[in-house]
Chains A and B, each alone.
Chain A
Amino acid sequence: MAASLVYCAHLLAQQLPDKPAIQAPLPVTGYYGRFCIAKAATNVQLPATVFGCGVADCCASCSVIDASWQNGTRIEVTVSGAFENAVSLRFENLTPDQLNSLNIPNGQFIAESEVKIPSGESTVQVPRDFSGAILITPVINMPFTAGDDDGEPKTHPPGRLNVEFKTIFDELELGQAGYVMDWDDCGPSITTTCLDAVEFQNHTDSEPAVVMLDGETDFGCINDVIESGMATIPVGNFLEAFSCHEEAVVFARDKAMQIFEDADSLIWSAWTDLAGDIQPFLLGDPRVELPLNIQIAVPNNILAGVLAQAVIDGSTAQSIMQGNRMGISLTGTDLNDLVVVGQADRVQTINDLINPWITNNPNCANVVDLVNDLSVLGGVYDPQKLNIYYVSSAALTGAHFRYCPADPTNQPQGLSTGVVFIGRGSSATSFTHEIGHALSLDHVGMRCRDILGIEFPCGWDYDHNGYKDFGQDNLMFVDYPDPRLFFSIGQALRANANETSLLNTGLHRIGEPTRICDSFRRNKICPVLSLDSY
């Protein structure tokens, strides 16, 4: 037994390496991605970047200088960081002839339109007969392995990879794009030959379920270990707990999130000091329902388009909730559930109400006043649901959507739901983003300014290790462009369990444990916001 414990502790210690020190300032703009080396796909394709002109870029047509490819503009690429020869560039919109005349002195074609770029600086000289914008997709070639002394491959240690592009004309930088990727170990996993396991019962979905575990092991307390699988998953050797917090939180695609936090309950009695325990988790409850009241308050000439938009938004939100194991389903999103306000005078009244309210109360200070005004219209505001208004208000041009939590002191308990406004020009994920706010989630990836007005990134580094924790694909990212498609497990837990989540303030999730986990709080019951299952 003693030998086993030492062995398990050794394995676990191996899998919890210190993070490397900060290597570079966190980027303010550009792409940021975080990957787990062992679980990443063979080739990781990053979002493409446009080099050249776009609708908003204007470029040569409104510039005083002809900065066209024909006039010698070039792209400089710098690859740096922990990984050698891992990057290739795919040129998405060049013809075979143009690809042939592409001049990249250090590059090596590895496919018809894909060129491998070595570490260091490289120059891409675009064919001079090419006009317009070029679309380049960086591809990271896996696996990151290195030969071992005994000839067996071993996984590359964690590290950061930077790919920086600059568009240069006559030594003048016209534009830049940066990609920063943190290649990590796969989290504090304890999937080893230590033989305890969790077992998901009644898990019939085709996608793995995820469990987050706290508990006591032979080398001390561990917190927020994440494992995923279909049925039985080895988790290392948990001990009968004496001094450590114990809990398990289970997330599945088609079931409610479940918190098992009572250390005295039967559920924990299975952990013993011996390896070989199997901890059963019965996935039973269906997803928690969040009822929506979707009102379409737009003029008839754009009604059909906005209705179609609302249906797409609802379906998109349902998929995102399901795919991210949020344990939440939305009701009221079908076409026949949508309420068309209809009468022109009432549409006008609603938009008239909203216009000054948005302009004068940008911080939602007087949402209750608005709710009362809307209630006067009869049936427009449903206090039992999350009220979402599709509007054509001109004032919503700059701030299309806003979740405004109603003042609980002015509302009967359980009726403080707040409102969301969706303006024209939103994206398909804006709807889900606003629901995220209603579920207590804050923005990630804010740009902040210090007292001197200098911009710095904030709302990125939740575990305070000097790394950005989210990419722009997170649903709560503050800006466009899409795609924003993902919630983390840390966000899923907060959306369900936070006392301020509409699921709990609106009494839609009754009898389940609640918590107070703001975005930056991290303790034994609040996992870091960015905790995820990869």
Chain B
Amino acid sequence: MSCSVEVKKTDKGLRATLQDELSNNGVLRAWLNCEECQEGQLEQVLKLGDDIVPQLGQVLDLSTKYLASDSLEDLEAFQLKYAAQVARDSYAVLSDMNPRFKKQVREEQFVDAQLRRLLLRYQARAALSLELMGTARSKAALAGTQSGKNRP
């Protein structure tokens, strides 16, 4: 990833923009990662409107692209490598808890399933957010992903 915009570090307006962006990303992360989501988590994302569309579009594009891969563990995406490590650690604990677990589920099968489910969640929630937002920009991001035009 690289940045296309060079800015003065001390530009107060841009600093404020970046602050907003960080805050927006926090709202998005909470929605992407909630399990039994609490009331208002999706609504908070929708309230951000077009400001959060680029991030939603990126999440949707990347998750759609990755889900099409045969082997997720081979992907260079850092987030996936991290999630794979977490899944491997879980697998080791589960195997300690019950010796039969290893016979029932192979490690690569467990890790792959975990990664796909994470991506499915990201994909579904990003798509739902864009759809419910219903702005011209969100519709364009959604259409772009569906047609493959936005693929990184």
Residues of A whose CB lies within 8 Å of any CB of B are: 47-48, 50, 52-68, 72, 93, 131-133, 135, 169-170, 172, 174-175, 305, 308-309, 311-312, 315-316, 318-320, 322-324, 362, 394, 397-402, 424-430, 433, 443, 447, 478-483, 485
Contacts and interface: CB of A to CB of B under 8 A. Distances in A.
Given A68-B3, A135-B78, A399-B36, 16 more contacts: A56-B55, A58-B25, A63-B21, A64-B18, A65-B15, A65-B18, A311-B104, A316-B105, A323-B96, A323-B97, A398-B37, A398-B42, A398-B128, A400-B121, A427-B114, A479-B33
Main SS at interface, chain B: helix
Given A54-B79, A483-B89, A323 B58 contact: no
B122 A56 contact: yes
A485 to B, nearest CB: 5
Interface of B: 1-3, 5-7, 9-10, 14-15, 17-19, 21-22, 25, 28-29, 32-39, 41-42, 54-55, 58-59, 62-63, 77-83, 85-87, 89-90, 93-98, 100-101, 104-105, 109-110, 113-114, 116-118, 120-125, 128
Contacts of A362: 39
A213 to B, nearest CB: 25
Contacts of A430: 35
A481 B33 contact: yes
Contact of B104 (A48, A172, A305, A315): A315
B35 A400 contact: yes
Contact of B10 (A57, A170, A322, A394): A170
Contacts of B17: 64-65
Residue among A55, A133, A312, A425 facing the most chain B CB atoms (10 A cut-off) = A55
A428 B90 contact: yes
A172 B25 contact: no
Contacts of A322: 97-98
A481 B86 contact: yes
Contact of B98 (A50, A54, A308, A319): A319
Contacts of B113: 308-309, 312, 428
Given A64-B7, A172-B19, A56 B14 contact: no
Given A50-B78, A60-B2, A319-B101, A424 B118 contact: no
A62 B58 contact: yes
Contact of B86 (A72, A312, A324, A483): A483
5 shortest interchain CB distances as A-B pairs: A323-B97, A425-B121, A66-B3, A319-B98, A425-B120
